[in-house]
Structure 1
Amino acid sequence: MSDPAPIKPSLVRENLQAPKANDESRTAVKELLLADYLNFSESFWKNEQTGETRVNWFIGIVTAAVGGLIGLTTADNRPTGEPLRMIFIVTLVALLAFGIVTLLRMLKRNETTDGYKKDCDRVRQMFRVYFDDDSLLRDYHPFGKKSGEKSAPRKRGGLADTVVTINSLIIAGLFAAWSFPFGEGSALNWTNPRLRIIYIGGPIMFVAACLIQARGIRVRKAKSYDPGSVHGITDWIAQILGWSDIKDGVDPKPTHAGGIVFRSNNVRVEYLLVGPKEEIGEWIFPKGHIINERNEKPWEAAVREVQEETGVVGKHICVVGSDEFRARDEIVRVEYHLLEAQPSANQSEKRRKAWFSLRDALASLTHLDNQELLLHAERIRAAIFGKERN
C-alpha cells in the first residue's frame, strides 16, 4: 500500500503548554478559549483595516502633492530654473520618506496579521484535541489552509505591492527632476539629450526600485522568520543586492528529526514518549540533531535518535509532519517520522521513557503541537495498517 501524502503541521511557539485532562473545569477552559478566539479575530480585522487606512492616507498625500507640483508649473508667476528643480526634488524626497515608512508599517502589519492567524489556529487546535470528540472540526480551515501548515505566500497586488509601486514611481520622478533641463529654452525639444536620458533612465530606475524593494521585503521576512540569518546593516544590504548566500526562509531544511514510535500486539496500540529526568511531568517525542556532515537524511536521524535515547529500534514508515520552535537564539525545525518498534535485545536508554495508549499519550504530552502531530500520526498509522485507534 502506498504511503499517504505527508501531513505537515508546523507551529512557531514559545513554550506553548497544553492543559491536562484532569483540569478542574473544562467549562472554564472552553470559555477562556472562546474569549481568546473572539479577541484574536477582532484584532485581526482591526489590524487589516488600519493597514488599508494607512495606505489610503499615503495615496491621498501623494495625489495632492503631485497635483500641487503640476499646478506650480502652470502658474503665471511660477519659479524657473534651479529653484523649481529644488522644489520638485524636496517634495519628492519627502514623499519617498513617507512611502518608505508606510511600506515598513505595512510589512509590520502583515507580520501581525499572520500572528493573529496563528493564534486563532492554536485555539482551534485546542478545541479539536480537547472538545471535539466527534472530529467535527477536523476539516475546518477558515483561513484557507490546514491547521499548522505554513501560510501560503501573499498574492501579488496587495497593499504592500501598491506602496512599492508608488515608491518606485517617486524614485523615477526624482531621477527625472534631477535630469530635466529646467530653465533651458529647448527643455521640451525632443532632440534634447537630457530628455533622452530621462526616457531611458526613468523606466530603468522604476524597475530597479521595484526589484530592490521586493528584495528588501524578502530579507525582512527571512529575518523575522530566523533572526540569526541576517546580522546588521552590512548583511542586510548584501542580501538585498544578492551578494549573500542567506536564504529567503522559504521551505527551510529541518535541523532536527524525531520519531513518533508505536507498537501493537493486535489488541492494543501504544506510543513511545520520553522525558528529562529532572522534569517528571514533561513528556515529548524523542528527537535530536541531523548530522549534516554525514549527509544524514531526516528519517535516518529519527531512527538513530530514537535508538540512542530510548534503546528502541524503529522501522521507518513515513513522514508525519514538522514542528518549529525557538530555542534561545535559533529556530529549531523538527521533521517527525512514524516508526514501528521492532523486537530488540538491547534496550539501553539515556532518558526515561514510557509507552502510552493514544488517549493517555494525548493527555500526557506537554506541548499542544505534539498532540496535533500524534493525531496525524495515528490517522496515517490506521490508514496503512487498517487498525482502529484505542
Structure 2
Amino acid sequence: MKFLKKHPIFSSILFSELLGLGMTALSLIKNTHNEGIGMIVYALFVMGMCIGTFIIYPFVLTAINVVTLFWRRPEKQWLRKEKQFEYITVVLGFLYSGLVLFFYDIQFWADWTEVLYNTQVHTPVWTESYPTIITIGVIGVLGYFVLSLGSLKKMPPLVVVCGIAAMYIGVGGCVLWIVQIFSGRFLLLWLFPANCIVMAAKTIRYKMAEWNEIGRQEERNYEKGGLAALNRKLQKAERWPLAAFILMWPMLGVMIGILILFGQAPDAVIKAWTETTDWHLSQRVGPQNIYYDEHYLCTVAAGGHERVVKPLRMGERHGHPVIVNRQLCIANAFEQLLEERTPTFHRHLRHFYDTWGFPVARLIHSPYIADGIYLLMKPLEWFFLIVLYFCDVHPENRIAVQYLPKK
C-alpha cells in the first residue's frame, strides 16, 4: 500500500487493468463451456488489457481530475503528480480521440450538402471554419501550458490573466463541441473536451491559491503607467476570473480579425456549428442517406470517386437501392454463372466471400480506398469477363440485367 500511495500513476494504471481483467473474466466464465483453460487465460489477458487501457483508464483519469479539482493537497510532491496526470490526460486524449474516430462513421470532410450512405453522419463542424476552430484550440492549449509550466514568481499578474483569458476561449470551444455531439453514442469523443474544461478550472484555482501564498511572502511594486496600474489592481487573485473574462473578448476580436485576413468569415465561430446537419446545434437539413449493401464491391461502386469507379445506374439488392458500375455487374454475372454450372464450388466461394468481404467493406471509409480496391479488382474483372464470353451465349445481356428490380 505504501508503494501504491507513493506511485499514484502506476496505481491508476494497475487499477484500470485489474478492473478490465475482472470484467473480462466474468464474461468468459459465463459464456465459455468447452474451450481449454489456455484459450480462456489468453483471451482473458488480451481482452482485459485492451478494456483496461482503452476504455476504463480514460474514466479513471477523468475521476482523478474531477476529485483533484475540489481536493487540493499542498505538498509539492503531490502537486507534481497531479500535473503528470494532467499531461497524461492531454497526450492520451489526443491519441485515443484519433483512434476512436476510426470506428465512427463521422465524415469530417462532408458538409451538410453532401449525400452520405448507410449510417454515415455529416461533419459536426463546418469544413470552411476549420482554421477558426483549430486556432481556438491552439490558443486554449497555449494558455494552459503558459500557466501550467510557468512560475508565478517570475510572471506579472497581467500575463496570468491573459493566460486565463486564452483558456476561456479554449473552454468555450470545448463546451460548444460537447453540446454539438452530446450523446451516449459519442461518449468517448466528448470525454476529452470535458477533461480539458476540468483541467482549466483546476489550473485557475491552483494558480490563485499559489499567488495568494506568494503575496503573503513578498509585495511587488510597479512603476507608473497604464499597464503598471493594471498589474497593481490584479495583485488580488480574486479579481483574475472576472478580469480574464473581460479580456477574453478583445482577444477573441483580435483573433477573428487576423483570421479574416486569411479568408475566414467574421461569423465563422458561429457558423462552424450551425452550418451543419445531424447535430444538436445544426440549422441545416441534409439530404437523406442512400443505402448501399455491405457487399464490398457495392461499397466500392458507391463510395469511390465517380471519374474512377464510373457508376452506371441505380440497382436493387436484397430489396434496397444500390449504386452499380460495370465491375460490380460483371462480378455478379460471373457468380450467377458459377451458381448455374458449379453449384457446390459456388457455395464454398460464397462462404469465403461472405466471411471476408463484409469485414473488408467496413474498412472502406474513404473514396481513395474505394478507388484503390476498384483498381486492384481490375485484373479479376477482366478474367470474369473472359469466362463469361467463353461460357455464355449472350454475356452482355446477362451483365446488363444484374441488380435490376425483380418483377
Same fold at TM > 0.5: no
Larger RCO (CA under 8 A, 6+ residues apart) = 1
More strand by share: 1
- TM-score using structure 1 length: 0.31
Higher helix share: 2
